[in-house]
Amino acid sequence: MGAQKSIHAGKAKIDVNVDLTHRLCASLMMPPFRSSGGPLSLIIGSLCLKHPNLFGGSEKLDVSWDKGLYDSNALIAYRRPRPEWLSQQSFVIQHSLTPEIGIHGTPMDNFSRSGSGGVNLSQFSVGLDLTEPANSNWSSTTSIRFKHVQPVNDDGRSISIDIDGFPVTYSGNSHDNMVVLKQESHYAKANDRSFVCVSFQIEQGIPLLSKWIIFNRLKFVASKGVKVGPTFLLTSLTGGSIVGDMAPYQAFAIGGLGSVRGYGEGSIGSGRSCLVANSELTIPLNKMMEGVLFLDCGTDLGSGRHVPGNPALRQGKPGSGLGLGYGLRFKSPCGHFQVDYAINSFQQRTVYFGISNLGS
């Protein structure tokens, strides 16, 4: 249900990937929250252009475009060669369009699904990324970017308030501007029986102009996996907090696949702070199939009321929740298939489908 093609034009390489499979999986997980835009809206795909020697000095140019059902992302990255012991520099231009379901979405069916709140984020950024040379088990990236964030409705028209009349930007206008200094650090260590992975992300809003957002946003993820007999136990803890100025779309959304299963995206809450714990036990059934038992929980630590406009309270989100369930993982030459069955604190059941690494 998909197609892949690589084209070589001189030294440049073009990768094209068109996939209809995710449309089927998404329709099984939740009904469309936006009217169809015609046949092209059914297609999920990507286009990637790579040139390894743009001006004859080993300069690299990467151009990529990814399209989902309701989101898209375009990226241009230009890299100049530098010695390996120096930071690698990339000049980046990026534009993305994403539905803001986690913050402004409406919980449905006992919080097991999230419907559109009519808010989408159109984000344009330009800046410089610096990747530090890997040091033992540590790696880090520093970036500074100018960001222009413009909320739009489901028809693509610029908006400044949500359906309840509350501002969706910090400025109260149709857009926010900011310069963000971002530091990401990753630590990973693994052996035959276990692994440990820790990542930190710090974002600092730089007030070059008086109306620009000044904030400090911290997020961390710590995970550990250990082999227990024939099974494998994976646990992780995710947390974050933001201080200073903030727009509603900068809040931490809790709930959904990748957060607390059994809930729709952001259906538990959205706050200035969050804490999410996940545990998953994988049991091999045969060479191609694994069974999974999981337990997820998350909370906004009572910070939902401190988000401008208090969208979580207006939508009746509980602020904390627990989900548990089981699933199956299938491995085949044409791809990896995942099915999860989860139940939340309100005894509402949800089924998640996933497909990845599809062949041509």
Is 110's pLDDT higher than 70?
Answer: yes
pLDDT band at 359 (very low <50, low <70, confident <90, very high): very low
CA 193 vs CA 100, 225, 228, 287: distances in Å: 39, 8, 8, 19
pLDDT above 90 for 3? no
pLDDT of residue 199: 97
Closest among 45, 133, 50 to 85, alpha carbons compared: 133
Please state which of the ranges 43-52, 136-145, 250-259, 271-280 shows the lowest mean pLDDT.
43-52
With cut-offs at 50, 70 and 90, classify the pLDDT of residue 21: very low
Cβ atoms 162, 119 nearer than 8 A? yes
Q: Would you state the structure tokens that stand for residue 102, as one six-digit string? A: 């986690």
Residue-wise pLDDT tens digits, 24-33: 444 444 445 5
Other beta carbons within 10 Å of 5: 10
pLDDT in tens, 173-183: 999 999 999 99
% of the chain surpassing 90 pLDDT: 62
pLDDT at residue 30 in the model: 44
Angstrom distance (rounded) from CA 162 to CA 151: 10
Share of the chain above pLDDT 70, in %: 86
Query: Could you tell me the maximum CA-CA distance found in the chain, to the nearest angstrom?
Result: 62
pLDDT 10s digits, 272-292: 999 999 999 999 999 899 999
Per-residue pLDDT averaged across 176-196, rounded? 95
Residue 127 has pLDDT above 80, yes or no: yes
Q: What is the pLDDT of residue 27?
A: 42
